[in-house]
Structure 1
Amino acid sequence: MAGFDTIIVPVTDVARARDFYRALLGVEPFADAPYYVGFMVEGTQLGLAPGGPTGGAGAIAYWSSPDIQAAVKAVTANGGTMTADPRDVGGGKLVATFTDPDGNTLGLSQDPAA
């Protein structure tokens, strides 16, 4: 199903951020590693990544698509610029980032095939 389903927040200290968001959200992370901490809150994943994938651009919302390659084509055909091509971040989940025509950074994601 397509829709915004993930928000990645770049952090400088994963452990500190994990504790902060655990207290704020009132849930335990489903993933807790030095390279990524993930929380699931009402169908949306909030991920904490050291240094972040944004190069300092802040949090990124990821649009979930059943076909990330088709989404990349739509982005580039309509004035967007890919800033990171699709890559597997584990378990077959693909992610990519782009800027829209106004320079906003957003992401694309595709869940692994069932």
Structure 2
Amino acid sequence: MGNPIAWFDLTSKNAGVSRSFYSEVFGWKIDVDPDMGYGMVDTGSSEGIPGGIGENPEAAPALVVYLVVDDAEETLKQIEANGGQRDVPPYEIPGIGTMATFKDPDGITVGLWQR
């Protein structure tokens, strides 16, 4: 099956500005969950991958893609054995799946998505 990209996550220092920018430039509709402070992106197309825009004023802005894997924990073990580093350990999003992140040998953050 390979490991397709399942999701993108854009983290901004000011999510309101980022959401407005992407909405205006690309016509995205963004539905913000006020409890999470996270905006789910609807690109208006069946092409491409889904994603969201969140905020973390303390962190550097980032764009992370999430790769589909069968087992996040086992994949993290392979990543560590090949020079990568575990970043965020697997955590469940109830009823949806499991997420984790790692840093590749260059320090680039990449996500894992286990359905």
Normalised-by-shorter TM-score class: 0.7 to 0.9
1:92 matched to which residue of 2?
96
**Structure 1 position 39 matched with structure 2 position 41:** yes
Secondary structure class of the residue paired with 1:97: strand
Which consecutive unaligned segments of at least 5 residues does structure 2 have?
none
Structure 1 residues 110 and 99 mapped into 2: Cα distance closer, same or farther (>3 Å)? same
Q: TM-score normalized by structure 1? A: 0.76
Q: How many residues align?
A: 109
**Structure 1 position 60 matched with structure 2 position 64:** yes
Moved more, 16-25 or 74-83: 16-25
Q: TM-score normalized by structure 2? A: 0.75
Question: In 2, Cα distance between the equivalents of 1:74 and 1:51?
Answer: 29
Aligned residue type for 1:20: F
Structure possessing the higher radius of gyration over alpha carbons: 2
Runs of 4+ in 1 over 4 A off after TM superposition: none
Which consecutive unaligned segments of at least 5 residues does structure 1 have?
none
Instruction: Tell me if the contact between 2:11 and 2:54 (Cα under 8 Å) persists in the aligned partners.
Output: yes
Identical residues among aligned pairs (%): 28
Which runs of structure 2 are paired with 1:1-114 in the superposition (5 Å)?
Answer: 2-29=3-30, 31-34=31-34, 35-41=37-43, 42-51=47-56, 55-56=59-60, 58-111=62-115
